[in-house]
Chains A and B, each alone.
Chain A
Amino acid sequence: MAILSKEEAQAILKKVLSFSKAESCEVSLNGSNGGNIRYARNAVSTAGQIDVMSLSVNSTFGKKTGSASINEFDDASLKKVVSRAEELAKLAPENPEFMPLLGPQTFDESATYNATTAAITPDTRAEMVGKSLGVAKAANLDAAGFLENSTRFNSVMNSKGLFAYNKSTNVSFSVTIRNKEGTGSGYVEQDFNDLNKMDVLALSKIAASKATGSAGAKAIEPGKYTVILEPLAASDILSNMFRGFDARSADEGRSFMSKKGGGTRLGEQLFSENVNIYSDPMNPELPSATWSGDGLALKRTDWVKNGVVKNLAYSRFWAEKKGVAPLPFGRSMVIEGGTQSLQDLIKSTEKGILVTRFWYIRSVDPQTLLLTGLTRDGTFYIENGEIKFPIKNFRFNESPVIMLNNVEALGKPVRTGSGMIPPMKIKDFTFSSLSDAV
Chain B
Amino acid sequence: MRRRDFLYITGLGAGASMLPSLNTFGNLISVEEALTPIDVKLKKQMADVALNAAKAKGASYADVRIGRYLNQVVATRDTRVENVANSESYGLGVRVLANGSWGFAATNNMDNSSIAKAAELAVAIAKGNAKLMSEPVQLAAQKGYGDVSWKTPLEVNAFEVPIPQKVELLLSVNNEALKGGAKYISSNLFMVNEQKYFASTEGSYIDQDIHRIWPNFTVTKIDSASGKFETRNALSAPMGMGFEYLTPKDDEKIKGGPVTMYKKRYDMFEDVKEATVHVSEKLKAKPVPAGKYDLVLDPSHLFLTIHESVGHPTELDRVLGYEANYAGTSFLTLDKWESKKFNFGSDQVDVIADKLEVGSLGAVGYDDEGVKCGTWDIIKKGILVNYQTIRDQAHILGLKESQGCCYADSWDSIQFQRMPNVSLAPDNTALTAAEMVKDVEKGIYMFGRNSYSIDQQRYNFQFSAQLAYEVKDGKIVGMFKDAAYQSNTQEFWNACAKRCGKNDYRLGGTFSDGKGQPSQVSAVSHGSATTRFNGVKVINTGSKLG
Taking the closest CB of chain B, its distance from the CB of A437, in whole angstroms, is 4
In the complex, A330 Cα to B226 Cα: how many Å? 32
Contacts of A36 in B (CB 8 A): 517-518
Q: Which of A212-220, A229-237, A370-378 contacts B (4 or more CB under 8 A)?
A: A370-378
Contacts of B457 in A (CB 8 A): 436-438
Q: Which of B359-367, B527-535, B536-544 contacts A (4 or more CB under 8 A)?
A: B536-544
A-B contacts, 29 of them at CB < 8 A, read: A43-B135, A46-B414, A48-B105, A49-B121, A50-B106, A50-B412, A54-B27, A68-B28, A68-B29, A71-B27, A96-B80, A122-B124, A122-B125, A126-B132, A130-B131, A144-B322, A178-B329, A242-B18, A253-B224, A294-B17, A359-B328, A374-B460, A395-B486, A397-B539, A397-B543, A399-B543, A434-B460, A437-B328, A437-B455
In the complex, A363 Cα to B15 Cα: how many Å? 15
- Chain A: CB-nearest residue to B102: A46
Number of interface residues of A (CB under 8 A): 113
Q: Could you tell me if B543 and A368 are in contact, using CB atoms closer than 8 angstroms?
A: yes
- Chain A: CB-nearest residue to B163: A91
Q: A45-B322, A56-B28, A395-B462 given as contacts; is B103 within 8 A of A376 (CB)? A: no
Q: A249-B14, A256-B545 given as contacts; is B322 within 8 A of A48 (CB)? A: no
Q: Could you tell me if A360 and B484 are in contact, using CB atoms closer than 8 angstroms?
A: no
Which residues of A40-94 have CB atoms within 8 Å of chain B's CB atoms? Answer: 40-52, 54, 56, 67-71, 84-85, 87-88, 91-93
In the complex, A327 Cα to B312 Cα: how many Å? 42
Q: A49-B105, A56-B24, A168-B21 given as contacts; is B325 within 8 A of A144 (CB)? A: yes
- Chain B: CB-nearest residue to A30: B24
Taking the closest CB of chain B, its distance from the CB of A74, in whole angstroms, is 13
Which residues of A276-294 have CB atoms within 8 Å of chain B's CB atoms? Answer: 288-289, 292-294
Number of interface residues of B (CB under 8 A): 90
Taking the closest CB of chain A, its distance from the CB of B439, in whole angstroms, is 29
Contacts of B542 in A (CB 8 A): 365
B169 interfacial contact with A, CB 8 Å: no
Q: Could you tell me if A373 and B453 are in contact, using CB atoms closer than 8 angstroms?
A: yes
Q: Could you tell me if A154 and B22 are in contact, using CB atoms closer than 8 angstroms?
A: yes
Q: A48-B105, A52-B108, A331-B20 given as contacts; is B224 within 8 A of A359 (CB)? A: no
B85 interfacial contact with A, CB 8 Å: yes
- Chain A: CB-nearest residue to B15: A243
Q: 1/0 contact trace for A233-264 toward B, CB 8 Å?
A: 00000000011111001001110101111100
Indicate which residue in B102, B226, B459, B518 contacts A435 across the interface (CB closer than 8 Å).
Answer: B459
B101 interfacial contact with A, CB 8 Å: yes
**8 A-B pairs with the lowest CB-CB distances in the bound complex, closest first:** A243-B15, A260-B227, A48-B104, A435-B460, A144-B324, A437-B455, A437-B457, A146-B517
Taking the closest CB of chain A, its distance from the CB of B392, in whole angstroms, is 9
Contacts of A144 in B (CB 8 A): 321-325
- Chain B: CB-nearest residue to A243: B15
Contacts of A145 in B (CB 8 A): 325
Contacts of A368 in B (CB 8 A): 543-545
Taking the closest CB of chain A, its distance from the CB of B200, in whole angstroms, is 17
- Chain B: CB-nearest residue to A401: B545
Q: A37-B129, A41-B134 given as contacts; is B15 within 8 A of A246 (CB)? A: yes
- Chain A: CB-nearest residue to B488: A436
- Chain A: CB-nearest residue to B223: A253
Contacts of B416 in A (CB 8 A): 46
A106 interfacial contact with B, CB 8 Å: no
B229 interfacial contact with A, CB 8 Å: yes
Taking the closest CB of chain B, its distance from the CB of A425, in whole angstroms, is 20
In the complex, A43 Cα to B131 Cα: how many Å? 9
In the complex, A176 Cα to B455 Cα: how many Å? 15
Taking the closest CB of chain B, its distance from the CB of A246, in whole angstroms, is 6
Q: 1/0 contact trace for A351-377 toward B, CB 8 Å?
A: 000000001111111011110111010
Contacts of A95 in B (CB 8 A): 80-81
B222 interfacial contact with A, CB 8 Å: yes
In the complex, A207 Cα to B126 Cα: how many Å? 27
Q: A43-B135, A246-B14, A401-B545 given as contacts; is B321 within 8 A of A126 (CB)? A: no
Of the candidates B17, B26, B133, B222, the one having the most CB atoms from chain A within 10 angstroms of its own CB is B17
Contacts of B112 in A (CB 8 A): none
- Chain A: CB-nearest residue to B230: A367
Indicate which residue in B108, B125, B451 contacts A49 across the interface (CB closer than 8 Å).
Answer: B125
In the complex, A331 Cα to B544 Cα: how many Å? 29
In the complex, A126 Cα to B108 Cα: how many Å? 25
A175 interfacial contact with B, CB 8 Å: yes
Q: Could you tell me if A329 and B18 are in contact, using CB atoms closer than 8 angstroms?
A: yes
Q: Could you tell me if A361 and B453 are in contact, using CB atoms closer than 8 angstroms?
A: yes
B150 interfacial contact with A, CB 8 Å: no
- Chain B: CB-nearest residue to A145: B325
Q: Could you tell me if A360 and B453 are in contact, using CB atoms closer than 8 angstroms?
A: yes
B291 interfacial contact with A, CB 8 Å: no
Taking the closest CB of chain A, its distance from the CB of B108, in whole angstroms, is 6
In the complex, A254 Cα to B14 Cα: how many Å? 12
A432 interfacial contact with B, CB 8 Å: yes
Taking the closest CB of chain B, its distance from the CB of A118, in whole angstroms, is 15
Q: Could you tell me if A367 and B460 are in contact, using CB atoms closer than 8 angstroms?
A: no
In the complex, A47 Cα to B121 Cα: how many Å? 11
A39 interfacial contact with B, CB 8 Å: yes
Q: Could you tell me if B222 and A92 are in contact, using CB atoms closer than 8 angstroms?
A: no
Taking the closest CB of chain A, its distance from the CB of B284, in whole angstroms, is 16
In the complex, A293 Cα to B23 Cα: how many Å? 10
B167 interfacial contact with A, CB 8 Å: yes
Which residues of A16-39 have CB atoms within 8 Å of chain B's CB atoms? Answer: 28, 30, 35-39
- Chain B: CB-nearest residue to A142: B321
Contacts of B484 in A (CB 8 A): 364, 372
Q: 1/0 contact trace for B62-90 toward A, CB 8 Å?
A: 00000000000000000011001101000
A100 interfacial contact with B, CB 8 Å: no
Which residues of B407-457 have CB atoms within 8 Å of chain A's CB atoms? Answer: 412, 414, 416, 451-457
Contacts of A71 in B (CB 8 A): 27, 108
In the complex, A156 Cα to B103 Cα: how many Å? 35
Q: Could you tell me if B414 and A362 are in contact, using CB atoms closer than 8 angstroms?
A: no
B149 interfacial contact with A, CB 8 Å: no
Contacts of A373 in B (CB 8 A): 453
In the complex, A146 Cα to B543 Cα: how many Å? 38
Q: 9 new A-B pairs (CB below 8 Å) besides A49-B125, A362-B453, A365-B482?
A: A47-B103, A52-B412, A142-B324, A154-B22, A253-B229, A329-B17, A359-B455, A399-B543, A401-B545
In the complex, A49 Cα to B126 Cα: how many Å? 11
Q: A45-B102, A437-B456 given as contacts; is B128 within 8 A of A122 (CB)? A: yes
Q: Could you tell me if B227 and A253 are in contact, using CB atoms closer than 8 angstroms?
A: yes
In the complex, A397 Cα to B222 Cα: how many Å? 25
Contacts of B108 in A (CB 8 A): 52, 71
B331 interfacial contact with A, CB 8 Å: yes
Q: A47-B103, A123-B128, A254-B229 given as contacts; is B541 within 8 A of A370 (CB)? A: yes
Taking the closest CB of chain A, its distance from the CB of B428, in whole angstroms, is 34
A205 interfacial contact with B, CB 8 Å: no
A182 interfacial contact with B, CB 8 Å: yes
- Chain B: CB-nearest residue to A39: B132
